[in-house]
């Protein structure tokens, strides 16, 4: 049955983008013991984080993606029929930074649920206490088909997010997300640089790296005049 997953694709793939500088309740890194892919519900997330800064819901029609797609990237989401919910939590010290100077710090935690079951989440922080920095250059040491998940974590550190089918294309595989976004303030108010790093490492059903991707935008100028 033909379908048009454009809006859904935006919901599934826009995780790395920040939701502006909105304030929210305390945002802490998702603990793997509390946020279990394929089991955690929206009520569980709200019990830990409270009311989200923002939320979105979308229901795909019956009959969507009744068969798995062929080709494409293994990182592609599958727009299965059902209800998708995205919860976003955001925290910033922007008001304090404007008053006292210094860098604007942000935290975001985003959760994607399918039929009220968690299938993907991302966390980003530029606060020193729980910054999600990682060494993107270590991706070159990852070997597809040979490196296992524990070795990836040894190279890059603990992931700041994870995802499973249908947030990725293949049942049985899961993705490790690494994200870092920071804004550095210069001497003048209009002098701001943005640092952005992102990496995804896909682990197959046997525990080996199936694919990986990454990008690094370091110290890109932001013209605020």
pLDDT digits (tens, 9 = 90+) for 145-194: 999 999 999 999 999 999 999 999 999 999 999 999 887 655 445 456 77
Predicted confidence (pLDDT) at residue 3 exceeds the cutoff of 50: no
Predicted confidence (pLDDT) at residue 46 exceeds the cutoff of 90: yes
Rounded Cα distance, 27 and 37, in Å? 19
Query: Taking all residues of the chain, what is their mean pLDDT, rounded to a whole number?
Result: 81
The two three-digit tokens of residue 185, written as one number: 């303030």
Residue 50 falls in which region: left (phi positive, over 0), alpha (psi -120 to 50) or beta? left
Percent of residues, the chain, with pLDDT higher than 90: 56
Res. 11 pLDDT band, cuts 50 70 90: very low
C-alpha dist (Å) from residue 71 to 47, 68, 76, 160, 170: 39, 10, 10, 28, 11
Res. 104 pLDDT band, cuts 50 70 90: confident
Average pLDDT value for residue range 57-74? 76
What pLDDT is stored for residue 31 in this prediction?
Answer: 86
Nearest Cα neighbor of 74 from 209, 207, 197 is: 209
- Residues near 12 by beta carbon (within 8 Å), at least 6 away in sequence: 77, 79, 84, 112, 120, 167
Res. 67 pLDDT band, cuts 50 70 90: low
Alpha helices in the chain (DSSP H): 6-13, 42-49, 94-100, 149-156
> The pTM is what?
0.79
- What is the rounded (10 degree) CA torsion for 24, 27, 30, 31? -140
């Amino acid at each position: 049955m033909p379908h048009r997953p454009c809006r859904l694709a935006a919901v599934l793939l826009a995780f790395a983008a920040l939701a502006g500088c909105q304030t929210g309740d305390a945002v802490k890194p998702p603990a793997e013991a509390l946020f279990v892919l394929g089991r955690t519900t929206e009520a569980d997330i709200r019990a830990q984080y409270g009311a989200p800064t923002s939320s979105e819901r979308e229901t795909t029609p019956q009959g969507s993606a009744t068969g798995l797609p062929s080709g494409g990237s293994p990182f592609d989401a599958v727009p299965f029929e059902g209800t998708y919910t995205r919860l976003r939590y955001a925290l910033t010290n922007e008001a304090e930074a404007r008053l006292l100077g210094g860098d604007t710090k942000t935290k975001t935690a985003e959760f994607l649920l399918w039929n009220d079951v968690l299938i993907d989440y991302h966390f980003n922080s530029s606060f020193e206490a729980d910054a999600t920095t990682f060494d993107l250059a270590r991706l070159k040491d990852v070997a597809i088909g040979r490196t296992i998940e524990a070795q990836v974590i040894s190279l890059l550190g603990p992931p700041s997010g994870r995802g499973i089918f249908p947030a990725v294309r293949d049942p049985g595989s899961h993705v490790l997300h690494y994200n870092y976004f920071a804004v550095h303030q210069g001497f003048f108010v209009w002098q701001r640089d943005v640092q952005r790093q992102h990496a995804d490492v896909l682990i197959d059903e046997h525990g080996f790296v199936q694919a990986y991707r990454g990008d690094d935008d370091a110290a890109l100028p932001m013209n605020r005049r």
